[in-house]
């Protein structure tokens, strides 16, 4: 089985910097080449910088990305999407129109003799109580309903402001490392208990492929700096980075 795992694309509906535009171009180019190449694509959280689909409305700036994903699905690749900390308010659009399978926290798979676990990882960073509370609040039905009542233009402007302010909050590299080690600790626990052979996470934005006691921990990295992804071909994981071929540049 040919599996591709991506996370932390953070595709922006407002591409305000040249970097945002370049990153979008790179991931779209990768996805164009991925058409017909895989049996399963796992989108492991934070694919969209923010997601909401209203009853009659979707965010049109995502069209290029949705188009590529639809194409990949149409060529027979199963699409599985796991919520991240930026995209978790999924209604029926991706299920109905892209035939995606959507999971709130994690996705388990047994294939090629390996037990695999895919989860974004935001629940498993170390000691982030503030975030855990925020996560609960933001996933409450009432909050979601309030958001749905806003005009999409207003809702998305608000979302942009909030996501920018959270990104500008200074996080020391020491804290970042501590957070990332929380992900690995979680994976190590799952592997040592023999629950899984391969644990794949995202969220840290650092690509990792590591042999631990009992199995392999992988992190797909991100598409903002590393343009990295994980392939699991016949049960064997391999970390890769993508570069646009010069002829296309
Ligand atoms: Mn994340």
Residue in this structure with the two tokens 């599996």, named with its chain if needed: 3
Write the CA distances from 16 to 13, 19, 21, 158, 164, integer angstroms. Answer: 9, 8, 8, 15, 11
How many angstroms does the Cα of residue 42 sit away from the middle of ligand 1?
Answer: 15
Give pLDDT, residue 202. Answer: 97
- For 200-217, b where at least 16 C-beta lie within 10 A, e where not — what string? bbbbbbbbbbeeeebbbb
* Beta bridge partner(s), residue 236: 233
Give pLDDT, residue 227. Answer: 98
Structure tokens at 97: 């129109």
Structure tokens at 36: 């017909």
Q: What are phi and psi of 195, to 5 degrees?
A: -65, -35
Give pLDDT, residue 89. Answer: 92
- Report how far residue 199's alpha carbon sits from residue 97's, in angstroms, rounded to the nearest whole number: 29
pLDDT in tens, 40-50: 999 999 999 99
* Residues flanking ion ligand 1, Cβ below 5 Å: 46, 84-85, 203
| Mean pLDDT, all residues of the chain | 93
How many angstroms does the Cα of residue 46 sit away from the middle of ligand 1?
Answer: 5
Give pLDDT, residue 125. Answer: 84
Tell me which residue range forms the domain holding 20.
2-248
How many angstroms does the Cα of residue 91 sit away from the middle of ligand 1?
Answer: 20
How many angstroms does the Cα of residue 120 sit away from the middle of ligand 1?
Answer: 7
Q: Which helix (H) or strand (E) holds 174?
A: helix 173-192
Closest CA to 5 of 211, 215, 212, 208: 208
Closest CA to 99 of 81, 84, 119: 81
Q: Which helix (H) or strand (E) holds 96?
A: helix 93-98
- What pTM value is reported for the model? 0.93
CATH classification of the domain holding 166: 3.60.21.10
- Report how far residue 165's alpha carbon sits from residue 145's, in angstroms, rounded to the nearest whole number: 23
How many angstroms does the Cα of residue 246 sit away from the middle of ligand 1?
Answer: 30
Q: How many domains does the chain divide into?
A: 1
How many angstroms does the Cα of residue 115 sit away from the middle of ligand 1?
Answer: 23
Structure tokens at 105: 């926290």
- Low-confidence stretches of the chain (pLDDT < 50) are none
Cα pseudo-dihedral 97, 57, 31, 120, rounded to 10: -90
């Amino acid at each position: 089985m040919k599996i591709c795992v991506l996370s932390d694309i953070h595709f922006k509906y407002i591409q305000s910097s040249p970097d945002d535009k370049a990153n979008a171009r790179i991931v779209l180019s990768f996805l164009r080449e991925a058409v017909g190449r895989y049996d399963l694509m796992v989108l492991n959280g934070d694919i969209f910088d923010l997601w909401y689909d209203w009853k009659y409305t979707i965010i049109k700036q995502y069209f290029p990305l949705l188009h590529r994903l639809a194409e990949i699905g149409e060529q027979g690749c199963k699409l599985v999407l796991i919520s991240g900390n930026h995209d978790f308010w999924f209604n029926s659009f991706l299920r109905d129109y892209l035939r995606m399978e959507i999971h709130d926290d994690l996705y388990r798979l047994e294939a090629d003799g390996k037990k695999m676990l895919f989860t974004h990882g935001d629940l498993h960073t170390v000691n982030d109580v503030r975030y855990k509370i925020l996560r609960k609040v933001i996933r409450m039905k009432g909050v979601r309903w309030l958001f749905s009542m806003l005009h999409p233009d207003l809702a998305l402007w608000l979302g942009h402001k909030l996501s920018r302010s959270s990104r500008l909050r200074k996080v020391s590299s020491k804290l970042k490392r501590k957070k990332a080690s929380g992900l690995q600790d979680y994976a190590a626990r799952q592997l040592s208990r023999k629950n899984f052979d391969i644990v794949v996470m995202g969220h840290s934005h650092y690509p990792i492929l590591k042999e631990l006691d009992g199995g392999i921990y992988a992190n797909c990295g991100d598409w903002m700096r590393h343009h990295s992804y994980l392939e699991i071909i016949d049960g064997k994981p391999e970390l890769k980075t993508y570069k646009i071929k010069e002829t296309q540049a």
